[in-house]
Structures are given as structure tokens and as C-alpha cells.
Amino acid sequence: MTDTPAESTKASFRSDVSVELVKHSAGDSDVLWAARVSTAGEQSLEELQKDPERSKGLINFLMRDRHGSPFEHNSMTFFISAPIFVFREFMRHRVGWSYNEESGRYRELQPVFYVPGEARKLVQQGRPGKYVFVEGTQAQHELTGRVMVDGYQHAYEAYQEMLAAGVAREVARSVLPVGLFSSMYATCNARSLMHFLGLRTQHEEAAVPSFPQREIEMVGEKMEAHWAALMPLTHSAFNTNGRVAP
């Protein structure tokens, strides 16, 4: 049964994304006990009571020589709000990730839409694989904002019209654009997050350059800030060794 939609729902527009760390079991000590079981067996559990700072050289060694599995024994769950097109890019990352996204089949989707801010570069120059983005003109920014807002409002009005006529949510949602905001839980470990960050952020210390879309990079930057606070030695070793996942 389809719920009757509200008679009037005002659209809102965002140029940001939000990332909340909702739960975690992650620390530098997780890397150490996982690595030292190779030589210490059950005594590796003693690492849980030690200061990881004393063993940061081991973490750096593991990162440098790409011994990756010790970086998997941890977990972080993020609640992310971003445009749908960002989540479609997220789904390219499957190893070491779990996702649950809000459903347009089971709830009425809210009219929150993405409009780029003034800092978002608008103009693409060059050919695929060898292009750069440059600043847009004031006229281009004004055009982009106006056309997006008009298109979003028209699409959401059509969505509401179908819902009011009794059309199922899973059918009516087809008219909504990928600039609509969605939300999801994303769970990963440090190794899978490092692989994500290596591809989805630009960084001066990266050994391999990456050219992510800015909107998913905004999500990556916020996730990285949370992770760096939880595992500072691992994060430092990641940067020192070229931001390449082990």
C-alpha cells in the first residue's frame, strides 16, 4: 500500500556531504597483534596492552612491504549522506565493504538535491583520461544552479503527482534524478578504506596520481579524518609510503 504524500514538501538544496562515524572497533594495536601472531602465537594478544607508538616501525614495515592482511582486523561504520551519483561510484568498491542504503521502494524520498557550490570547478578540458577541470565563469555557475533547481523541482512534482494518484513508490521514483540525496551505512576495514582513498582522493603524497570526481572526494576526505583519529600511526604510514593500500 502506498502512503499518501504530503500536500506540499519544500525542496532544499545542498552543496556539501555529511559523514558520521557511528561505531568502530579500530586502533593501531589491532594491526600489531594481527601481525605478531606469525611469530608470537597466542602471546601476540599482549600487544593489546602495549603502547602502539613503541611499534610504529612495524606498522611502517608492513605498509612499505605491502603485508596487507594485518590491516583488515578492524571495523568502521559510517553513516553517509550524499547525492545518489556518489553512491553509484561507491559501489565500485566491493572488497572489504558492506552497504545498506535507504530504499525508494519502502519510503517516500525527501526532496533534498545537490547543487555545486562556487568552489566546484565546472569546465572539463582535454580528452578522456587526460583532462583537467578549471573554474567556471559566473554565468556558468548561475546557469548550472538555475537549470538544476528547475529540473529537480519539476522531477519532484512529477514524483508527488504519481504518488498522489496511487502509483507505487518503486515506480514513481523513476523520474527522480541522481542529484537527489540518499543515505547509507558503509562498513569497511582500514585496508579497504586505504584502497578507496588511494583512488578517490587527490593528495600531494600519493605515489600514484588519482583523478576522482570532486563529490566522492569530499566524502573520502571526511572518512579519512575519522580514520586518522582512530589509527594515527597507520594513517601516517599510509601517507609516508605513497598512499598505496598494502
CB-count exposure of residue 100 (10 Å: 0-12, 13-18, 19+): exposed
Would you report the helix, strand and coil content of the chain in percent, each value rounded to 5?
50, 20, 35
Distance of CA 36 to the CA centre of its chain: 31
Calculate ∠ Cα 117-120-125, nearest 5°: 150
Calculate ∠ Cα 115-129-212, nearest 5°: 40
Catalytic residue set: 200
Question: DSSP class of residue 137?
Answer: P
Cell of 239: 601517507
3-state secondary structure of 154: helix
- 8 Å CB contact between 188 and 196: yes
Cell of 152: 529537480
